[in-house]
Amino acid sequence: MQIAVTNLSKTFESMDGPVAALQDVSFTVTQGEFYTLLGPSGCGKSTTLRCIAGLENPDNGEIRIGEKVVVAPGISVPANERPIGMVFQSYAIWPHMTVFNNVAFPLKQGKRKVSRAERERRVMEVLSLMQMEDLAHRPAPNLSGGQQQRVALARALVSSSEVLLLDEPLSNLDAKLREDLRLEIKDLTRKLGITAIYVTHDQLEALAMSDRIAVMLNGKIVQEATPRELYLKPKTSFVAQFVGQVNFFDGTVLEDSSDELGLIETSQGVWRCPVPSGMIKGARVKLAIRPEGMRLTSGRGGEEGNLLEGRVEKTVFLGETIECQILVGSQIITSKVSIENEVNEGDKIFLWFSPENCLVLPAESL
Amino acid sequence: MKSITLPEPNVEDRLLRLQNWVRNNLLMILVIAVVLFLVLVPVTRLLITSFQIGHPAFPEGWSMENYTSAFSTPNFYETLGRTFWVAGLGTSVSLTFAVLVAWLVERTDMPFRNLAWAMVLIPMAVPNILFAMGWTLLLSPNAGALNVLLRGALDLVGIHLTKGPINIFSVGGLIFLDGIRGVTTIFLMVVGCFRMMDPTLEEAARVSGAGGVATFFKVTLPALSPAILAAGMYSFILSMESFEAALAVGLPGGVFVLSTLIYFTTRVQAPLDYGLGAVFGVVFMVIMMFLLIGYRRAVRNADRFSTITGKGFRPRIISIGKWRHPALGLFVLFFLISIVLPFSVLLWTSLMPSYRVPSFEVMHLLTLRNFIEILNDERVYNVLWNTVVLMLVTATATMVLAFFVSWMIVRGQGKGKGKGLLDALVFMPLSIPGIVIAMALLMAYLTAPLKYLGIYGTVWILVLGLCVAYLPFCTRLMNGAIVQVHKELEEAAYVSGATTFRTLIHVTFPLLFPAFAAGWIWVAVHALRSFSIPLMLAGRRNQVFAVLLWEYWEDDISLAAAMGVLLIIALIPLTLLMRRFVTQFSGQKG
């Protein structure tokens, strides 16, 4: 089922007057897509999801689930009449019921009601999908966090709603479990062909699971893209640093060029970078380089490309790489170098990076 | 915020929206309607009656006459003043005693602390009216058992009296009874603060060179003063409303307070004067409203004073050395005064053909005749039935209503004007003394249009009265419980396809059941011992135990004593059970 959100707006009353929680949020999720709303807390991602679920009402805007308009001026279909399943951050497993009864609950309500035999069959089916059929008759509170979240997922899936909403479902779990469930959820939605909207503040989760990601800030969508595009071609410095580690340099365009590489002047030197069209000579820019985009090199000269000189302040051995904090001018930058290199604190080093690894962003954007 | 101009909706659209709104808020509308009916209708009727002359059923026109006549009666001012200072003195007695006792039990090395706790708690089981009756038998000026004893003692030192020396039918008697009754309430409100108080405050005083006594008066008490003040105000409000003692010892002694003045004006004197009673009720209500606002402020201040950190430590225990056993004596004394003596004299009287001063000479008169007579009184069975119906229906109705009201107050969506209205409405009855609620109901259901419901004089009007009176406590209890249920548990049900109503029944209610049960028991126990409302609304068919007790008291004291003994025996286990449940679910004091 396709979900279309158009011009969603909502304001909350706070101590210092009204605060815009959502400002003209629009996006479309296609049938079977795994779509993620990513952003820091308070950015409006959960509010958007809860508007789709019907747990909150926007002040304005329209939401369609499939062909049905569920939110529009004057219309608000109650949550229980929307064709959705939802998983919550707190699991929201009912402690007074067994696992089986938790999962069976949706099949006893309204239009989703099915016969007793059918109910039993479907509950056991979805529980076996989660590899939880042995725990069916356990009281719900006697489960671990991971098991509870599986039950929550089973409950959201049991009524075969074609839309699955997930509100930070993994954030209460420990790291290892989180990784397992991440894969599990992704496989499951793919297998069932279900349309999923996933809310998280964890960029790794978003990058690993999504078909498409919308990054939100202050109630607006800042960028909507595939994980790869988001990581490699963030539109703003906020997005760049939110989806991964990044070093920023303030600079000015020395030479603009629409097809070829241009030149950027920074306090650390003049570098050759792809300058997007629209940024003309003299424009103030932010240059972004990811830590893994830089390579340790022996010295000046020789290779083509950009160079940076600095002193190693701190090294952290991470196993697969070494993370170095390097003092460049008055600025500390982070670089990941391969473990063949021997770097010691206090070393003077040179870092090399190719123009393709440079990203030129507008200076005053979020 | 951007403003968006929408096209002017047409009438049909508006109707549709209204319809939608009604459909989505049906439960809210229904609940507000019920609460409005329960609370606002009687209060409005009371106000109307206060401006009418003649019997409320046959008013003879609008007038301020009731007000002018009330405010020109010197007796009224005197009673008003007395109500204040009796409550004030009574509260000072309870406050001093309760704070001392709470400190002893929580902060000193006094022996038998559990026993001490029990000795403070058990007296709660004795209804106020029985406590007052017990002390009437002990201290009535002529034949009061203690007075006889005292006279005997005074005889030995050469003072010969034929009456007294103590007369319970006096202002002093009233203050004494109110003061003792307030102790347990205040104790329960302050004992937690003593337990959870940050011990470093006191330790800092000790290392600064202050002695034990100085520390108590200079640090401990001031640090706890907001909490103590709040408890004192609460107790003062309860004393202002107290009716039982004022009825049992005040009325015979001609000592009126506001509550008894209302009772006397609308139920006893001839001819009855409803208009004047309504004026007294309105004045009473306004005073209580101000007191309650003051109380709310005080509580807020108490919260701001963060001496209580809730870290869950037990503060340092102070050694009181040679005072350890005398301290326990204080508890024994309280236990004697508040339950042993009144219960003993009631038990004694219940075994006598008529009241006799306790002595060995009359032991041969001991008899169970009174109990047998009660069992043979056919009124008792009617009363038993009424009481059981009153307890069960009131408890169920009040708690179901409280459940819905609290759910709406806690979970109500967004700004919701209905939410604020509900909160104010269920808070309001706190400021209406029981006797005034009863009077208002009496007037409302005695007159058109509500008289056509035909519940005047039945047990149902008692249910209404108690429901209104207990609603504030029950909603606060349920508010606390609902806050603890994670909102997402309900939301998970909505997105599973459940309607609001089904969610409430299948998810919220089962999760709240323990708190619901606690509240239910609280209401049932309070309904069993309720006195002012049933007495005020009593007819021939709707008497409950407390009312029959009063009727017996007026014509055969030993029968009343027997009835009282039976009631206390039933109430002790019920009260302890109730406290156990209620303290588990709220910070409220049962």
Closest-CA residue of chain A to B513? A96
Residue B352 backbone dihedrals phi, psi, to 5 degrees: -110, 150
Are B402 and B519 spatial neighbours (Cβ–Cβ below 8 Å)?
Answer: yes
Residues of chain B with Cβ-Cβ distance to A53 below 8 Å are 491, 494-495
Where does the pLDDT of residue B306 fall: very low under 50, low under 70, confident under 90, or very high at 90 and above?
A: very low
Cα separation, B435 vs B537, in Å, equals 9
Flag whether pLDDT at B6 surpasses 60. Answer: no
Cβ of A131 under 8 Å from any chain B Cβ?
A: no
Name which of B17, B415, B495 is nearest A85 (Cβ-Cβ). B495
Query: A-contacting residues of B 489-508, CB under 8 Å?
Result: 489, 491-500, 502, 506-507
Name which of A75, A82, A88 is nearest B492 (Cβ-Cβ). A88
Residues of chain B with Cβ-Cβ distance to A74 below 8 Å are 9, 13, 16-17, 20
User: In this predicted structure, what is the pLDDT of residue B590?
Assistant: 34
Q: Is A131 in a helix, a strand, or coil?
A: coil
Task: Choose the mutation target among A56, A94, A148 for the interface with B, i.e. most B CBs under 10 Å.
Answer: A94
Cβ of B23 under 8 Å from any chain A Cβ?
A: no
A38 CA to chain B: closest CA distance, Å? 21
Closest-CA residue of chain A to B4? A60
**Do the domain assignments include residue B10?**
no
How many domains in chain B? 1
Answer with the residue of higher pLDDT: A279 or A78: A78
Are A308 and A293 spatial neighbours (Cβ–Cβ below 8 Å)?
Answer: no
Task: Choose the mutation target among B10, B496, B506, B507 for the interface with A, i.e. most A CBs under 10 Å.
Answer: B496
Q: pLDDT by residue (tens digit) across B76-124?
A: 888 888 889 889 999 999 998 888 888 888 877 888 878 888 888 887 7
Cα separation, A229 vs A212, in Å, equals 10
Quick one: average pLDDT of B451-455?
76
Cα separation, A87 vs A168, in Å, equals 8
How are beta strands A3-14 and A17-29 bridged, if at all? antiparallel
Answer with the residue of higher pLDDT: B181 or B315: B181
Quick one: average pLDDT of A138-165?
88
Answer with the residue of higher pLDDT: B552 or B201: B552
For chain A, the domains span: 3-240, 245-362
Tell me the β-bridge partners of A350: A297, A309
Q: Is A62 in a helix, a strand, or coil?
A: strand
Please state which of the ranges A154-168, A220-234, A262-276, B213-227 shows the lowest mean pLDDT. B213-227
Query: B-contacting residues of A 44-73, CB under 8 Å?
Result: 53-55, 57, 60, 73
Check B497 against A80: CB less than 8 A apart.
Answer: yes
A80 CA to chain B: closest CA distance, Å? 4
Question: SS3 sequence, B371-421?
Answer: HHHHHHCHHHHHHHHHHHHHHHHHHHHHHHHHHHHHHHHHHCCCCCHHHHH
Quick one: average pLDDT of B515-527?
84
Residues of chain A with Cβ-Cβ distance to B9 below 8 Å are 74
Residues of chain A with Cβ-Cβ distance to B502 below 8 Å are 109
How are beta strands A34-38 and A195-200 bridged, if at all? parallel
Where does the pLDDT of residue A39 fall: very low under 50, low under 70, confident under 90, or very high at 90 and above?
A: very high
Cβ of B11 under 8 Å from any chain A Cβ?
A: no
Name which of A11, A75, A105 is nearest B496 (Cβ-Cβ). A105
Check A152 against B488: CB less than 8 A apart.
Answer: no
Flag whether pLDDT at B311 surpasses 70. Answer: no
Count Cβ atoms within 10 A of the Cβ of residue B416 and give its class: 0-12 exposed, 13-18 middle, 19 or more buried: middle
Flag whether pLDDT at A36 surpasses 80. Answer: yes
What interhelical angle do B145-156 and B128-139 show, nearest 10?
Answer: 30
Q: What is the DSSP letter of A357?
A: G
The model's pTM: 0.80
Name which of A13, A60, A79 is nearest B494 (Cβ-Cβ). A79
Name which of B491, B496, B506 is nearest A55 (Cβ-Cβ). B491
Amino acid at A164: L
Q: pLDDT by residue (tens digit) across B232-244?
A: 888 888 888 888 8
Name which of B16, B415, B486 is nearest A13 (Cβ-Cβ). B415
Query: B-contacting residues of A 163-202, CB under 8 Å?
Result: 165
User: In this predicted structure, what is the pLDDT of residue B310?
Assistant: 42
Flag whether pLDDT at B135 surpasses 50. Answer: yes
Name which of B13, B507, B511 is nearest A74 (Cβ-Cβ). B13
Q: pLDDT by residue (tens digit) across A295-313?
A: 887 766 655 678 888 888 8
Check A159 against B499: CB less than 8 A apart.
Answer: no
Cα separation, A174 vs A362, in Å, equals 38
CATH number at A245-362: 2.40.50.100
Tokens standing for residue B416 = 């919701």
A210 CA to chain B: closest CA distance, Å? 23
Tokens standing for residue B364 = 């041969």
Q: Which residues of B332-356 are buried (b: 16+ CB within 10 A; e: fewer)?
A: eebbebbbbbbbbbbbbbbbbeebb
Check B4 against A106: CB less than 8 A apart.
Answer: no
Check B494 against A110: CB less than 8 A apart.
Answer: no
Flag whether pLDDT at A199 surpasses 90. Answer: yes
Query: A-contacting residues of B 389-428, CB under 8 Å?
Result: 413, 415
User: In this predicted structure, what is the pLDDT of residue A366?
Assistant: 54
**Do the domain assignments include residue B329?**
yes
Cα separation, B416 vs B407, in Å, equals 13
User: In this predicted structure, what is the pLDDT of residue B37?
Assistant: 87
Name which of B20, B413, B488 is nearest A90 (Cβ-Cβ). B488
Task: Choose the mutation target among B5, B11, B495, B500 for the interface with A, i.e. most A CBs under 10 Å.
Answer: B495
**Do the domain assignments include residue B348?**
yes
Flag whether pLDDT at B584 surpasses 70. Answer: no
Cα dihedral B51, B54, B57, B62 sign: negative
Flag whether pLDDT at A223 surpasses 90. Answer: yes
Cα separation, B25 vs B14, in Å, equals 16
Check B497 against A20: CB less than 8 A apart.
Answer: no
Quick one: average pLDDT of A320-334?
88
Q: Residue B588: CA atoms inside 13 Å, Cβ hemisphere, count?
A: 21
User: In this predicted structure, what is the pLDDT of residue B396?
Assistant: 93
Check B511 against A80: CB less than 8 A apart.
Answer: no
Cβ of A114 under 8 Å from any chain B Cβ?
A: no
A39 CA to chain B: closest CA distance, Å? 21
**In Å, what is the CA distance from B581 to each residue of A327, B388, B578?**
65, 21, 5
User: In this predicted structure, what is the pLDDT of residue B466?
Assistant: 92
Task: Look over chain B and give the mean of its residue pLDDT values, rounded to a whole number.
Answer: 81
Where does the pLDDT of residue B187 fall: very low under 50, low under 70, confident under 90, or very high at 90 and above?
A: confident
User: In this predicted structure, what is the pLDDT of residue A48?
Assistant: 94
User: In this predicted structure, what is the pLDDT of residue B246?
Assistant: 87
Residues of chain B with Cβ-Cβ distance to A111 below 8 Å are 497
Where does the pLDDT of residue B419 fall: very low under 50, low under 70, confident under 90, or very high at 90 and above?
A: confident
Print the domain residue range for B384: 26-33+82-245+306-585
Name which of A20, A92, A110 is nearest B488 (Cβ-Cβ). A92
Q: Tell me: domain A3-240, CATH 3.40.640.10, correct?
A: no
Cα dihedral A170, A175, A181, A187 sign: positive
Check B496 against A88: CB less than 8 A apart.
Answer: no
Cβ of A218 under 8 Å from any chain B Cβ?
A: no
Quick one: average pLDDT of B543-570?
86
B415 CA to chain A: closest CA distance, Å? 9
Beta carbon pairs, A and B, within 8 Å: 91
CA angle A341, A342, A344 (to 5 degrees): 135
Tokens standing for residue A309 = 């000189």
Name which of A20, A88, A106 is nearest B1 (Cβ-Cβ). A20
